Amino acid sequence: MGNMAGTAGDRAAARGRMRAMVLEPGAGARLCARERLVPRPHGHDVLLRVSACGVCRTDLHLLDGELAPRRAALVPGHEIVGVVCALGSRAAQWRVGQRVGVPWLAHSCGACAFCRSGRENLCDRARFTGLDRDGGYADYVVADARYCLPLPARYDDVHAAPLLCAGLIGYRAYAMTGAARRLGLYGFGAAAHIVAQLAVAQGREVYAFTRPGDARSQRFARALGAVWAGASDGPAPVPLDAAILFAADGALVPSALAACAKGATVVCAGIHMSELPAMPYALLWGERCLRSVANLTRADGAAFMRLAERIDLRTAPVVYPLARANDALADLRAGAFDGAAVLVPPPC
Instruction: Tell me which of 50, 115, 149, 192 binds Zn ion, using CB under 5 A.
Output: 115
Cα–Cα distance for residue pair 97/286, rounded to 1 Å: 54
- What lies within 8 Å, CB to CB, of 343 at 6+ separation is 21, 52, 53, 54, 55, 77, 136, 137, 319, 320, 321, 322, 324, 325, 328
Pairing of the two strands 205-210 and 182-186: parallel
Comparison of 13 and 126: residue with beta carbon closer to Zn ion: 126
> Does residue 294 touch Zn ion according to CB under 5 A?
no
Residue 181 CB neighbour total at 10 angstroms = 12
Instruction: Tell me which of 165, 208, 296, 318 binds Zn ion, using CB under 5 A.
Output: 165
> Does residue 109 touch Zn ion according to CB under 5 A?
yes
Q: Print the binding letters for residues 56-85 with Zn ion: x by CB under 5 A, - otherwise.
A: x-x---------------------------
Applying CB under 5 A, which part among 148-156, 158-166, 240-248, 252-260 lies near Zn ion? Answer: 158-166
Helix, coil or strand: residue 223: helix
Comparison of 127 and 219: residue with beta carbon closer to Zn ion: 127
Least distance to Zn ion, CB of residue 170, Å = 10
Radius of gyration of the chain (CA): 20
Cα–Cα distance for residue pair 293/119, rounded to 1 Å: 12
Nearest Cα residue to 225 out of 243, 256, 246, 204: 204
Applying CB under 5 A, which part among 30-38, 89-97, 106-114, 298-306 lies near Zn ion? Answer: 106-114
> Does residue 163 touch Zn ion according to CB under 5 A?
no
Least distance to Zn ion, CB of residue 150, Å = 19
Instruction: Tell me which of 5, 33, 67, 112 binds Zn ion, using CB under 5 A.
Output: 112
Instruction: Tell me which of 123, 142, 198, 221 binds Zn ion, using CB under 5 A.
Output: 123
> In b/e form, how buried is each residue of 207-228, taking b as 16+ CB within 10 angstroms?
bbbbeeebeebbebbeebebeb
> Does residue 251 touch Zn ion according to CB under 5 A?
no
Applying CB under 5 A, which part among 44-52, 107-115, 280-288, 339-347 lies near Zn ion? Answer: 107-115
Residue numbers of the site for Zn ion (CB under 5 A)? 56, 58, 108-109, 112, 115, 123, 165
